[in-house]
C-alpha cells in the first residue's frame, strides 16, 4: 500500500497557510493536493478547526470520492475538487476560501474587473463570476454540480484554466487552483487582494474604466510571456 505521508503534509501545510493569510475563519475553507500517479488527492477533513488540525487528520480520497485513507469525513466540497481534477489534468492543487472581499463580489454576482497592474500581473481578463446554480441542479448533486458550474463558466467564456486560475461562484465564493497546493493558496490570496483593490477603487471612483489593453499585455507578458524578465532565472 502506498504511503501518503508526504501528500498529507503538503495538504496540511497549505491549509494552515489559509488561516495564516486570513483567508478563512473557524472551520470554513479547504485545500487539496493531488497525486496523479496514485490517482488520489489529500483534502482537509470536514468541520475541523485549523487550530486543531494535524497532518494525520488529512483524508486521502480517490477521484470517485471514495476514502482511501483517513478516519475522518473529508471536506463537504470534496466532490467539487475531484470534478476539477478529473476535468483539468494539469492542476495539482485546489483551494476554496470564504475570504471577505472575494465572497462579497460573488454575492454581488459580479466579475472582478481588471483595473490595475496587480491584477494584470496574474491574468489578462476579469475574474469570472459563474451564475448561481439552477434549482434542479442544487437538488441533484450540489457539490458535484459546483464543479460542473465552474467548467461551464470557463467554456462559455472561452477561458483557459491554465491562464485564469481562479473563479467566483455566484452567491457562494471563490475557488482557485494551480500546479500544486501552495500555488492554489497563493492564487487565493492574490484573488482576495485583487477583489479588495477593485472594491476600494470603485468606492473612490465609481466611473473608473477597465485598465487599458496595452498595460494589461505589458504586465502579463513581462511575467508570463515568452520573453518574460520578471524575477530570477532558475536551473529547473
Closest CA to 180 of 82, 93, 89, 96: 93
- The average confidence (pLDDT) of the chain is 96
Ramachandran angles phi, psi of 106, nearest 5°? -65, -40
Its sign, for the CA torsion 106, 132, 143, 6, is negative
Confidence of residue 3 (pLDDT cuts 50, 70, 90): confident
Instruction: Give the model's pLDDT for residue 235.
Output: 54
**What would the pLDDT profile of 66-109 be if each residue is shown by its tens digit?**
999 999 999 999 999 999 999 999 999 999 999 999 999 999 99
Is residue 235 among the annotated active site residues?
Answer: no
Cell, residue 178: 494551480
Instruction: Give the model's pLDDT for residue 171.
Output: 97
Catalytic-labelled residue, pool 141, 152, 213, 230: 230
Return the SS3 of 40: strand
Catalytic-labelled residue, pool 121, 142, 161, 180: 121
Instruction: Give the model's pLDDT for residue 223.
Output: 87
Return the SS3 of 58: coil
Is residue 230 among the annotated active site residues?
Answer: yes
Confidence of residue 118 (pLDDT cuts 50, 70, 90): very high
Confidence (pTM) = 0.95
Its sign, for the CA torsion 201, 176, 75, 143, is positive
Confidence of residue 136 (pLDDT cuts 50, 70, 90): very high
Amino acid at each position: 500500500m502506498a504511503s501518503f505521508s508526504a501528500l498529507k503534509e503538503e495538504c496540511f501545510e497549505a491549509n494552515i497557510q489559509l488561516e495564516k493569510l486570513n483567508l478563512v475563519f473557524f472551520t470554513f475553507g479547504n485545500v487539496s493536493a493531488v497525486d496523479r500517479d496514485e490517482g488520489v488527492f489529500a483534502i482537509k477533513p470536514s468541520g475541523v478547526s485549523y487550530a486543531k488540525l494535524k497532518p494525520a487528520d488529512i483524508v486521502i480520497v480517490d477521484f470517485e470520492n471514495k476514502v482511501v485513507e483517513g478516519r475522518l469525513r473529508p471536506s463537504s466540497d470534496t466532490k467539487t475538487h475531484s470534478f476539477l481534477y478529473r476535468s483539468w489534468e494539469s492542476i495539482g492543487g485546489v483551494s476554496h476560501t470564504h475570504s471577505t472581499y472575494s465572497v462579497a463580489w460573488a454575492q454581488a454576482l459580479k466579475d472582478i474587473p481588471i483595473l490595475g497592474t496587480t491584477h494584470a500581473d496574474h491574468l489578462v481578463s476579469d475574474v469570472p463570476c459563474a451564475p448561481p446554480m439552477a434549482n434542479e441542479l442544487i437538488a441533484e448533486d450540489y457539490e458535484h454540480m459546483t464543479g460542473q458550474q465552474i467548467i461551464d463558466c470557463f467554456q462559455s467564456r472561452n477561458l483557459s484554466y491554465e491562464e485564469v486560475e481562479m473563479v467566483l461562484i455566484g452567491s457562494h465564493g471563490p475557488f482557485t487552483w494551480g500546479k500544486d497546493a501552495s500555488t492554489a493558496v497563493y492564487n487565493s490570496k492574490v484573488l482576495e487582494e485583487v477583489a479588495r483593490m477593485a472594491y476600494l477603487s470603485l468606492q473612490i471612483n465609481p466611473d473608473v474604466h477597465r485598465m487599458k489593453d496595452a498595460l494589461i499585455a505589458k504586465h502579463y507578458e513581462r511575467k508570463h510571456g515568452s520573453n518574460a524578465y520578471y524575477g530570477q532565472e532558475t536551473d529547473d
